[in-house]
Structure 1
Amino acid sequence: MTTRHLALGMTFLLQTTVGLLGNLFFFYHYLLLYLTRYKLRATDLILKHLTVANLLVIFSKGVPQKMAAFGLKYFLDALGCQLVFYVPRVGTDMVIDTTCLLTLFQVIMISPGDSRWAGLKIRASRYLGTSSILCWVLTVMRCVLIPFYMTDKRNNTNIIVKADHDYRASALQ
């Protein structure tokens, strides 16, 4: 293992650890609020979805990158490789979608009472759960074709490598 691989591995380890600790803190916080039956604010629902999406990205992208940076090569089979392409894409898209949903909700809530948005203030928090679930469904459906466009790199049959990662034994066609 070279110094470059060690430095890269330590960087991935640090990023994964900090991200994991921060998101697990939020997950624990919302779990504790749920168990104590504390009344949550409307934005807490969006932040819970954002925490889950971040954890998806960390576990599905951070852990394999860390293992590859420390020298373990081609340790995923075809299904694992497809999941490593699919799950981080869904997580990343959900982070973007949830952040946009949070921004839109905050714009509605801070708008003046005499604006066009005033009528939405009352109804906005009622539809947050539905909007969040709709974002998840649309993101999963939008990314569902990703695993179907993959082939095994070890077969050497009609492959155009877009990105070559040490932990994936497959590439996009």
Structure 2
Amino acid sequence: MSSRDLAIGMVFLFQTVFGVLGNFSLLYHYLFLYFTGCRLRNTDLILKHLTVGNFLVLLSRGVPQIMATLGWKQFPSDFGCKLIHYLHRVGRGVSIGSTCLLSIFQAITISPRNSRWAELKVKAPRYISLSTSLCWLLYMLAPNPSEQGSRSH
């Protein structure tokens, strides 16, 4: 293994470890607030889902990249590779969906009271949990685009 490959592997390792630690600390913070009975803000639910989605992406993409870069030969089986790919797709989709949902919610929140979105300010917090659950469901049930072309009709 060359020193360049080792350096790239170490960068991937540090990036993944710090990302996992950061997401784990955020998730721990939100779980601590939940179990102590503190009142959470409306955006906290979206941020929890975003944290879990990012955590899935880090583990499903970071660990295999580290393994490949550092020269480990023991890769998962065919089922393991498909599972890792599925978790990456779901995590990436949920991260993107949660980010969009957070942006929409914040746009509604900062809109002026006399705008067309004024009535949405009252309704939006009620639909956050439904929207995040729907986001998870849609990305978990979405078909794999690489398998659609190989199916025979």
TM-score between the two structures when normalised by the length of structure 1: 0.81
Q: Which residue of 1 aligns with 2:141?
A: 141
Q: Show structure 2 runs of 5+ residues with no match.
A: none
Tell me which amino acid in the other structure corresponds to 1:68.
Answer: A
Which range moves more in the overlay, 47-56 or 86-95? Answer: 86-95
Cα displacement (A) at 1:40: 0.3
2:125 corresponds to 1:122: no
Q: Which residue of 2 aligns with 1:155?
A: none
Tell me which amino acid in the other structure corresponds to 1:129.
Answer: S
Q: Which residue of 2 aligns with 1:17?
A: 17
Cα displacement (A) at 1:59: 1.2
Task: Please tell me the root mean square deviation across aligned C-alpha atoms, in Å.
Answer: 1.8
Tell me which amino acid in the other structure corresponds to 2:144.
Answer: L
Identity of aligned residues (%): 52
Which 4+ residue blocks in structure 1 deviate beyond 3 angstroms? 146-149
Query: 2:67, 2:73 → 1: CA distance?
Result: 8
Cα displacement (A) at 1:48: 0.2
Which residues of 2 match residues 54-133 of structure 1 at below 5 A?
54-73=54-73, 75-133=75-133
Query: 1:25, 1:147 → 2: CA distance?
Result: 35
Query: 2:66, 2:82 → 1: CA distance?
Result: 18
Cα displacement (A) at 1:67: 1.5
TM-score between the two structures when normalised by the length of structure 2: 0.92
Q: Show structure 1 runs of 5+ residues with no match.
A: 152-173
Cα displacement (A) at 1:145: 2.8
Tell me which amino acid in the other structure corresponds to 1:18.
Answer: F
Cα displacement (A) at 1:2: 1.5
Which string of whole-angstrom CA distances, capped at 9 and with x for unpartnered residues, describes residues 9-68 of structure 1?
101001101101110110110011011010100000000000000110111111111122
Cα displacement (A) at 1:86: 1.4
Q: Which residue of 1 aligns with 2:30?
A: 30
Query: 2:141, 2:35 → 1: CA distance?
Result: 32
